[in-house]
Amino acid sequence: MKMDKKQYDVFISYSRKDYVDENDNAIPGNVVSEIKAALKAAGISYWIDEEANYVSEAWAKFILNCIKSSKVIVFVASKNANQSEWTRKEIAAANEFKKPIIPFRIDDSLYDEDVFLRLVDLQYIAHYKNPDTSLGDLVETVKSKLEQIKVEEDALRKKKEEERMRRQAEEEERRRQAEEEIRKHKEQQQRDIEAIRLACSKLNNEETKFEVDRSNLLLETKAKVKDLAEQEKLMNDIISSSPIRKKSEQEIQQLRYKIESLENELKSLQQENDNLNVEIQKNQELLAEKEQLVTNMEQKFHSEVERLESQVAQQQSELINANKQLSLTEKKLVNSGKGANRGFRWWTHLIYVILLVFFFLGWLGSNSKMKELQKLYTDQTTIHTKEAPIKNDTTITTPTTPLQASNMEVYSKNLKKYLYTGPLNADGKPEGKGRAVFPNKDTFEGTFVNGMLAEGRYTFAKDGTYFLGTFNEREEPDITHGAYYNINGKKIN
C-alpha cells in the first residue's frame, strides 16, 4: 500500500461502533456522519478511517502517516471510543507529533485512563449538552486552530527564509572576499613578474651588450693574431675582464673568507670549552679535597672535645671525692679533742688549698686546649666557605664560641632529618650560627632561628652550586633576598 502524501486539515479519530452497525451500514443519525458533513460544508479537508483493517501492519503505518499529514485531530469521545484500543493509539501518536487535539464529546462517559492525562486539560465541545450548536462550534474551533497553525507556519517559514537569506548573504560575502583575495594575489603576482622582467631587461641592456662585444672581440683576436702564445694571452685578458666573471669571483672569495672566519671562531669556542672543562674538573677536585679535610678536622675536633670533657668530668669526680675525704678528716679532728684539733688544723687547710690549685690548673689547660681545637675547626670551616666568591666579597664562618651540639640528629618539619653542629636554645633546637649536613650531602652554614634555616649559604652537593641569602617560613630560598651562584661564584639568577 502506497502512503498517502496528501495534506489534510483534520484527522477524525472515532469508534466504528458510533458510526456503522455490525453489517457496516451507517447508523441513522450518527454523529460521525454529521461531523463529516459539517467539515465538508465548511471547505475543511479531512481524513477518516473507513476500512478499519486492524490486522494489517501496512494499514497501521498508513493511518500513522495520515495523522502526521493532518493539521488538527478531532477526537469523537464516547463510551465506545474511550474503550477503543485504536483511538488510544491515535491519541498517543497525535500527542507525539504535537498535533492539536479537539475532543468532541457525544456522551458524558469519562476518558480512558491511557488518554486521560493527554486530554484532561483540553477544552472540549459537549455535543451531548448542546446538539444544536456543537457542530458549528466544532467548525469554528477547527478554523481557529487552522488559522493559528497557518500563522505559526508562516512565522516559521519566514524565519527559515530569513535564515536562508542570512546564510546566503554570508556565503556570498565569503565568496566575494575570496575572489577579492585571489584578485589581489594575481595583481601582486603580476607586479612581481613585471619587476623581474624590468630587472632582466636592464641587465640585458647593460651586461649582455658587453658580453656580445667581448665574444666578437674574441673571434676577431683569434682571426687576426697568428702567434698562438700571444693569441692565448690576449684571449685570457678578454675573458678575465668580464664584469660577470669578476662579480662571481668576488662573491666566491667573500664566501671563502666567511667560511674561514667561521671555522676559526668554531675552533676558538672549542678551545674555550676545553679550558672551561679543565677548570671545572680542577675546581671539583679541590672542592672534594677541602670537604675531606673539613670532615677529618671535624672528627678530630669532636674526638678531642669528648676526651677533654671526659677528663674534666674525672677531675670533678676526684675533687668531689677529695672534698668528702676532707670533710671526714675534719670531723675526725673535731672528735679527737681540742688540743689535737689545734695541732692538725693548719695542714688540713694546706691540703685543701693544694687540691684546689691542681684542679684550677687542670681546668685552665683543658679550656686552653678546647679553644685551640675550636679555633682550628673554625679556620678550616672558613676555608670551606671560601670555595667561591659571594655577594659583597664576604664569607660565612662558623661561630667561635664552644658548640653545644656535634653531629646531632635533628628532625625538622620542613627538611626532615639532618645532622646539626652548633649551639642549641633552651628547647634543644638549633639556634644561632651553625652547620647542617643533609642525607643527600647538601650542606647549610649560617644562622638558625628556633630550629629553622634563617640566613646563610646552602650548597648543593650534586653540582657545587649554592644559594646565598635568607630563607622563608618553609625553609625555602627566598629569591627576593638572595641569589644562586655556580661553582665558580658567578651569579646565575
Contacts 24+ apart (CB under 8 A), 151-155: none
What is the maximal distance between C-alpha atoms in the chain?
Answer: 166
For position 263, what pLDDT does the model report?
83
Distance CA 37, CA 134 (A): 13
Sheet containing 405-412: give its strands across. Answer: 405-412, 416-422, 432-437, 443-449, 452-459, 466-471, 477-485
Domain ranges of the chain: 8-132, 290-385, 391-485
Which residue has 662571481 as its cell numbers? 248
Question: pTM, whole model, 2 decimals?
Answer: 0.38
DSSP 411-439: EETTTEEEEEEE-B-TTS-B-EEEEEE-T
Q: What is the pLDDT of residues 41-80, one digit of tens each?
A: 999 999 998 876 655 678 888 889 999 999 999 999 999 9
Which residue bears the cell 676559526? 264
Cα–Cα distance for residue pair 418/320, rounded to 1 Å? 39
Q: Are the CB atoms for 101 and 122 separated by under 8 Å?
A: yes
Q: What is the pLDDT of residues 183-233, one digit of tens each?
A: 998 888 778 667 766 765 655 555 666 677 778 888 888 788 778 888 788
The pLDDT value recorded for residue 255 is 77
Q: At 396, phi and psi to the nearest 5? A: -105, 125
The grid coordinates of residue 233 equal 694571452
Look at phi and psi of residue 124 and say left if phi exceeds 0, alpha if psi is from -120 to 50, else beta.
beta
Distance CA 43, CA 390 (A): 105
The CATH number for 391-485, chosen from 1.20.1070, 2.60.120, 2.20.110, 1.10.3470, is 2.20.110
Residue 52: its pLDDT value, please?
Answer: 62
With b meaning 16 or more CB within 10 Å and e meaning fewer, what string describes 220-257?
A: ebeeeeeeeeeeeebeeebeeeeeeeeeeeeeeeeeee
- In order along its 493 residues, the chain shows pLDDT tens digits of 445 567 899 999 999 999 988 888 888 989 999 999 999 999 999 999 887 665 567 888 888 999 999 999 999 999 999 888 889 889 999 999 999 999 999 998 888 877 777 888 888 999 999 999 999 999 999 999 999 999 998 999 999 999 999 999 999 999 999 999 899 988 887 786 677 667 656 555 556 666 777 788 888 887 887 788 887 888 787 777 666 566 666 777 787 888 888 888 888 888 888 888 888 888 888 888 877 887 787 788 777 777 877 776 777 777 777 667 766 766 765 565 544 444 445 666 677 677 777 667 766 665 555 555 555 444 544 434 444 444 444 444 444 444 678 889 998 888 889 999 999 998 889 999 999 999 999 999 999 999 999 999 999 998 899 999 999 999 999 989 999 999 888 888 6
CA angle 324, 330, 334 (to 5 degrees): 145
Provide the CATH topology of domain 8-132.
Rossmann fold (3.40.50)
